[in-house]
Chains A and B, each alone.
Chain A
Amino acid sequence: EAGVAQSPRYKIIEKRQSVAFWCNPISGHATLYWYQQILGQGPKLLIQFQNNGVVDDSQLPKDRFSAERLKGVDSTLKIQPAKLEDSAVYLCASSSTVQYFGPGTRLTVT
């Protein structure tokens, strides 16, 4: 069974630039999550999708972050414009009972 796929693995951008991350969940998993993880902390939920609908985006900074999950499969997370404090690892996970994570995207904003 293929795992959760994410791209890119690494991204370096300057502040005020934009960036997009892509996620393909495990086949058949209806629930998809985007997390932000800062070194030494647990993952922080940004947004939760059920199929192509948003369940919870209460912690998504909507002035600069957006996410979509068209057709209930792949998802993209976008940051525009990026700030220095957005430097983190962005993790995508999908679940049935257990959440399984993709390899993550390490974002550095300079």
Chain B
Amino acid sequence: GQNIDQPTEMTATEGAIVQINCTYQTSGFNGLFWYQQHAGEAPTFLSYNVLDGLEEKGRFSSFLSRSKGYSYLLLKELQMKDSASYLCAVRDKRSNYQLIWGAGTKLIIKP
């Protein structure tokens, strides 16, 4: 079957680094996406991994290991505005290339 797991909530301190993990099970893996969603707003695209390794984009990086069914989103130099939910989603080529979504990780940043 298809399954996406990520922690429900994490807390971190302003200026620090936090890693949000995501594990997945799918038979038709075709890429992994991370989205940021502030309260009351729509998800916004952060990153896309289709090959193993690390993709860096400013303060945010995303890592993928297809053999382990594992990804993480790394946020550096945390700012208060990074307080949001972070959604992991896997594209499944056996399901019309739809995104299978995790429930999201609520990240709380403390001063």
On A, residues with C-beta under 8 Å from B are 33, 40-45, 48, 55-56, 91, 97-104, 106
Tell me how far the C-beta of B63 lies from the nearest C-beta in chain A, rounded to whole angstroms. 18
Q: Is the CB of A48 within 8 A of B98?
A: yes
Q: Which residues of A contact B4 (CB under 8 A)?
A: 42
Q: A101-B44, A103-B42 are in contact. Are A42 and B102 (CB under 8 A)?
A: yes
Q: Which residues of B contact A42 (CB under 8 A)?
A: 4, 87, 89, 101-104
Q: Which of B41, B48, B99, B103 is close to A40, meaning CB atoms less than 8 Å apart?
A: B103
Q: A42-B89, A43-B101, A98-B33 are in contact. Are A56 and B96 (CB under 8 A)?
A: yes
Q: Which residues of B contact A33 (CB under 8 A)?
A: 98
Interface size on B, residues (CB 8 A): 19
Q: Is the CB of A41 within 8 A of B96?
A: no
Closest to A42 in B: B101
- 30 CB contacts below 8 A, A to B, read A33-B98, A40-B103, A40-B104, A41-B104, A42-B4, A42-B89, A42-B102, A42-B103, A43-B43, A43-B87, A43-B101, A45-B98, A55-B96, A56-B95, A56-B96, A91-B42, A91-B43, A97-B48, A98-B33, A98-B48, A99-B45, A99-B99, A100-B45, A101-B42, A101-B43, A102-B42, A103-B41, A103-B42, A104-B41, A106-B40
Q: Is the CB of A104 within 8 A of B101?
A: no
Most B CB within 10 A of own CB, among A55, A56, A101, A106: A101
